[in-house]
Amino acid sequence: MLRRNAATAGFALALALVATPALAQAGPDDAFTPGKAGAGDTTAALYTEAKAMAAKAPAPAPGLVNALVRDLGIDAGQARTRLVNEAAAAKVEPVLAARLGERFGGAWVAGPTAELVVATSDSTKVSAILKTGAQAKVVRHSLATLDAAKGALDAKAEGSPRSIASWYVDVQDNSVVVLARDTAEAQAFVDASGADASLVRVRQTAEQPQPFYDVRGGDAYYMGGRCSVGFSVTKAGSQGGFVTAGHCGDVGTATQGHNRVAQGTFRGSSFPGNDYAWVEVNSQWTPTGVVNAYNSGILPVRGSTQRAVGSSICRAGSTTGYHCGTISQHNTSVTYPEGTISGVTRTSVCAEPGDSGGSYISGDQAQGVTSGGSGNCSSGGTTYHQPVNEILSAYGLTLATDGGTEPPPPTGCTGYARTLSGSATSSGQNLYSSGFTAGSGTHRLCLDGPNGTDFDLYLQKQSGSSWVNVASGTSSGPDESFTYNGTSGTYRVRIHAYSGTGAFTVGVTTP
C-alpha cells in the first residue's frame, strides 16, 4: 500500500544524527561497488522535498476538494495545497520523532494550508528542525513525558467517573487535557491516579460521548441494527471483508449488506477497551479499495499513513453521508457508558447513530473507523475513530487499495541480472550503491528486506551534482519491487530503513 516517500539523504546530513554507509557487494561478479553518499547528494530539506514529492501524486478527487471547501471554510487552492502539505507532514513527522528521541515534543500542522510545526524540549535542536523546512517550537515537556502522564490516567480508566468525557495529550498546548462535565470529580480522579498533576489540565465540557450504533467504505450494513463499512480488507485463506467498529457486533454475528442481501460474519470484535472488528464476507461480495463519499463521489484508498494533528480528515457513513473536519488529538481515551476506549483519535468531524464503523480518510489515506462521539451534523460535534492500522495488525489483515488489493510482496529477489546485499543498523538509515551507467529502457528492481521491518527502495538518477529519485517502492512492509522506463544516464540504488534493522538483498536488471 503506497503511503509515503521516505527521508532524504539531505535530512541525514542536516541533523547529523545518522551515518550513511554504503551497500556491500553481494559477490565478486557484482557490477556494483560500495559507495558513500558523498558530495553528490542532494541537500534539499526533508520537508521541502517531501512536499515536492507529494505534489507529484495523482490530483485529489473533485468531490474531496469540494467537501474540504464546504466544511473547513477554505478555497479550492488552499484545499489542494493543504492535502499536499498534510501528506508531506505525515512522511516527515515519524522521521523527526526518531531523530529527536526524548527531546521530541510532538508535531502538528497549522494554518489554512497546513504547514508542519515540530516541537522540541531542547532549544539546541531548533536549527536542525528549521533546516528541514518545518517550523519549530520550543516546549517545556517532551512528548514522552506527557505520554507517561496520560498512561497513568489510562491505568486507572476503570475507576474513572462517568462525568469525564475523554483525556488526551494535546501537543499544541504541551499538556494532558481531561474533559469533564464535573471538573471537581475529574480533578479528584487525576489526583488519585498518580499522574503528575502539573502536566494535566482539567477542562469543562458538555460532551457526552456515546457509540454511534444505529463492500465500499461508508456503505450501510445490518446486523439487527445498522452500522457502516470502514475499509475493505483481504486475509490469506479467506474471502476478505471489511473492518468496522467493535460495538457493532460480537464474533459470530451475521451481517446483511446495504441491499439486505446476506453478506458475512463477524470474525473478530473487541469492545470496550478497543472499538474494532472485522467482518468476513461471503462469495457474493468483493472487497474494493474505495470509499463511498455519497454526493462527493467514489474516492480511492491508496494506503494508511497516519496524518498529523491539525490535518484535514473526512468521514463517510450511512446516516449522514460524507463530512470533513480536522484531527484534534491522537491517542485519546474516551469514556462511553459501556467503558473506556483507549488509543482513539479525536476529530471535529460530525457523525450520528448509524455512522459507526464508517471510514475516516485523509486525502487517499485510510485513517480509521468511526467509534462514537457527541453532537450531530446539524449543530456540529466531536467524534472519535479507531485507527485502522491497529485493526489490520490485530487481525493480520491487508488493506484493499484502489485498483485491487495490494500485490503480494516478492519472496526473494531471484531472476535479476545483479544482486546487492547490505545491512541497516538503525531505523531511518539511508544506504546507497555506487553509481552505474545504464542505457535507455526498462529497469527492474526488487528489495527483499528483513521480516517485521519497513524498508523502502529507490532508484536515483544523477542530475549535475545531485541525485534525483526517479522511481520508488514505499509500501509499509519489508519488500518492494518496481519497474522504471528511463533514458540513458548514471543511476544508483538507495535503501531507506524507515523502521527496523537487519540484512537485505536487492535485485537489479538494467537496460
Query: What pLDDT digit, counting tens, does each position of 30-58 carry?
Result: 433 333 433 333 323 788 888 988 898 88
Query: Looking at 82-96, 423-437, 443-457, which range is the least confident one?
Result: 423-437
Closest alpha carbon to 422 in 412, 414, 435, 432: 432
Rounded Cα gap, residues 482 and 422, in angstroms: 19
| 171 Cβ contact list (under 8 Å, min separation 6) | 105, 106, 107, 108, 119, 143, 146, 309, 329
Question: Domain 49-138: which CATH class?
Answer: alpha beta
Q: Residue 212: its pLDDT value, please?
A: 56
Write out the catalytic residue numbers: 247, 275, 356
Q: Which residue has the higher pLDDT, 388 or 479?
A: 388
In our burial notation (b when 16+ CB lie closer than 10 A, e otherwise), range 143-160 reads bebbebbbbbbbeebeeb
Nearest to 325 by CA among 344, 348, 306: 348
Whether the pLDDT of residue 407 is over 70: the answer is no
Q: Are strands 104-110 and 290-292 parallel, antiparallel or unpaired?
A: unpaired
Mean pLDDT of the chain: 86
User: What integer is the mean pLDDT of 109-123?
Assistant: 97
Q: How many CB atoms lie within 10 A of CB 163?
A: 17
Secondary structure of residue 77 in the 3-state scheme: helix
64-71: long-range contacts, CB 8 A cutoff, minimum separation 24: 64/293, 64/296, 64/299, 64/314, 64/363, 66/296, 67/293, 67/296, 67/314, 67/322, 67/323, 67/324, 68/312, 68/314, 68/324, 70/324, 71/314, 71/323, 71/324, 71/325, 71/349
Burial level of 348, CB count in 10 A (0-12/13-18/19+)? buried
DSSP letter assigned to residue 2: -
User: Rounded to 5 degrees, what are φ and ψ at 270?
Assistant: -140, 115
Per-residue pLDDT band for 428 (boundaries 50, 70, 90) equals confident
Residue 384 near residue 315 (C-beta atoms within 8 A): no
**Residue 409: pLDDT over 70:** no
99-111: average pLDDT? 94
CA distance 217 to 368: 11
CA distance 50 to 37: 19
Q: Which three cell numbers stand for residue 129?
A: 528542525
Do the domains 9-43+409-509 and 143-204 sit in the same CATH topology, yes or no? no
The one-letter amino acid at 252: G
Domain positions in the chain are 9-43+409-509, 49-138, 143-204, 210-405
pLDDT reported for residue 230: 97
- CATH architecture classification, 210-405: Beta Barrel (2.40)
State the Cα–Cα distance between residues 248 and 48, nearest whole angstrom.
43
Q: What is the pLDDT of residues 23-35, one digit of tens each?
A: 333 322 343 333 3
Could you read off the pLDDT of 178-227 as tens digits, one per residue?
Answer: 999 999 999 999 999 999 999 999 999 999 898 754 477 889 999 999 99
> Contact, 447 vs 506, CB < 8 A?
yes
The stretch 113-121 carries a mean pLDDT of 97
Q: Going by CATH, does the domain composed of 143-204 fall within 3.40.50.1000? A: no
Say whether pLDDT at 16 is over 70: no
Q: Which residues pair with 348 in a beta bridge?
A: none
- The enclosing H or E element of 314 equals strand 312-317
| Alpha-carbon span 243 to 228, nearest angstrom | 10
- Does domain 9-43+409-509 fall under CATH 2.60.120.380? My reply is yes
Catalogue the E-assigned strands of 14-60: 24-25
pLDDT confidence of residue 151: 95
494 phi/psi in degrees, rounded to 5 = -120, 135
